[in-house]
Amino acid sequence: MIEIGDLILRPLELKDVTSLYRFRNDWEIVRFLGGHSVGYSHADLESWIKSHSSRADEILWAIAERGTDECVGHVGLYKIDYRVGKAEFAIVIGDTRWLGRGYGTRVTRTLIEWAFLQLNLSKVSLAVLDNNQRALHIYEKLGFKREGVLKDEQIRDGKYLDLILMAVFRAEWGAHPTRDST
C-alpha cells in the first residue's frame, strides 16, 4: 500500500467492481481515455480484475479514498519489460470529486518514482488522447516528453483524435525541476 494524502494505492479487489462499473461506463470520464469504451458489465470488470492481477508483466492498483477505502480510480504499469527496463503507464480517476485537486499529479509522480526506484526501470511511456488537455499538462509538468503521434487513432463524439506517445526516463527524472511540486 502507498499513501498519498487522502488517497491510498492498494491492489484492486473484487469489491471495487461497483465503483469501476460506475466510472468505466461514464462517458464524461471515458471520452478522454484511449482504448476504453462504455458498455462494461459487472462480470466484465470482475474478469478484468482477475486477469490483470495475475499477470507477471503488470502492476495495477486501486486509487482509494483513505477514510472509506472506496475505489475512485486505478493506476498501473503495463507491459513491464524487466530485461529492457521499461513499462507503460496508465491512470484514470473516475470520481469527479477528486479531479482538479492535484491527485492525478501526485499519483502519477508517486508511481513513476516507484517504477524507477523500486522496479529499477529506465523508461516509462504512455499514450494520451489529444483531447485530454488536463492529462497532457500533468505529464509535461512531470517531465514526460512527446515521442510521436498516431494520427486519427481513436474516435470520440464523431471526431477523430490523435494519440500522443510520451515517455520519461529515469536519468532525467531526478533532474526535472517541477518533479517535486504539485
Sheet with 59-65, edge to edge strand ranges = 2-4, 7-11, 59-65, 71-81, 86-93, 123-129, 159-169, 145-156
160 is an active site residue: no
Q: Give the Cα separation of 99 and 87 in Å (integer).
A: 25
Neighbour tally for 60: CB within 10 Å: 18
For residue 124, give the C-alpha cell: 516509462
Burial (Cβ within 10 Å: 0-12, 13-18, ≥19) of residue 38: exposed
Active-site option among 21, 103, 139, 160: 139
Which residues neighbour 59 within 8 Å (Cβ) at sequence distance 6 or greater? 76, 77, 80, 119
Beta bridge mates, 9: 2, 63
Which residues neighbour 11 within 8 Å (Cβ) at sequence distance 6 or greater? 53, 60, 61, 62
Catalytic (active-site) positions: 139
